[in-house]
Amino acid sequence: MNRILIAEDEPRIASFLEKGLKANGFTTSVAADGQEALFRARSGEFDLLVLDIGLPGKDGFSVLRDLRRGGSSIPVVILTARDGVDDTVAGLDGGADDYVTKPFRFEELLARVRVRLRGERAQEETVLSVGDLSLDLRTRRVRVGDRDIELTAREFTLAETLMRHAGQVLSREQLLSHVWGYDYDPGSNVVDVYVGYLRRKFGQGRITTVRGMGYRLESSATELREAR
């Protein structure tokens, strides 16, 4: 089980990341300032560091610089709320392996984490298949049986989340956080609306409402294959 250190000082975002990563099988720990992040990242206990640039005490750039100067090769995915290209370039030039700009969707971060943990040469899964439903993550092509269907960007992300967890019940809160990010409104009915959109496009019976719990994409078997 991969161990991930989250260096993030904003409790809401740190909690959001912890819940999402734990739900996907990772072991997590949080460091709330730069000094603690550097100390723990150097310990050798973690397989990857999610590093916020705006940490108190010692900022993310300084943490990253000291890690690399000390010979640490831990993969680092930086989080930044800054829009400047210079900050992103500085992070990558300083030894970061990837970056995500706030606000972000959890699925985007998760994909980047998985790629860095697999290594640069690993082939990324590009096609999700559940029965006769398939999503090509590279081309954004969606098929139901022999039909091509069009999905909006948000519909595609919701479909991807349901397909990655086919057969499992996902609560509205889980879907909100995965698809709409940490700034979601917990009182919103947007999940129900978008599930309705997918039902009309995928056909009835594929997405089941589990009363009081959430939604489940039905499947007798889920296939995750790599594009050849």
For the chain, list the domains and their CATH numbers: 3-118 (3.40.50.2300), 127-225 (1.10.10.10)
pLDDT by residue (tens digit) across 15-54? Answer: 999 999 998 889 999 999 999 999 999 988 899 999 999 8
Query: Taking 70 as the threshold, does the pLDDT of residue 226 lie above it?
Result: no
83 contact partners, CB below 8 Å, separation of at least 6 = 101
> DSSP string covering 71-106, please?
T----EEEEE----HHHHHHHHHTT-SEEEESS--H
pLDDT by residue (tens digit) across 172-204? Answer: 888 887 788 766 676 789 999 999 999 999 988
109 contact partners, CB below 8 Å, separation of at least 6 = 17, 20, 50, 77, 100
Residue 34 has a pLDDT of 94
Q: Is the pTM of this model over 0.85?
A: no
* DSSP conformational letter for 135: E
Which of residues 224 and 16 earns the better pLDDT score? 16
Could you give the percent of the chain with pLDDT greater than 90? 44
* DSSP conformational letter for 57: S
Compute the average pLDDT of residues 134-159: 89
Residue 200 has a pLDDT of 94
Compute the average pLDDT of residues 204-228: 72
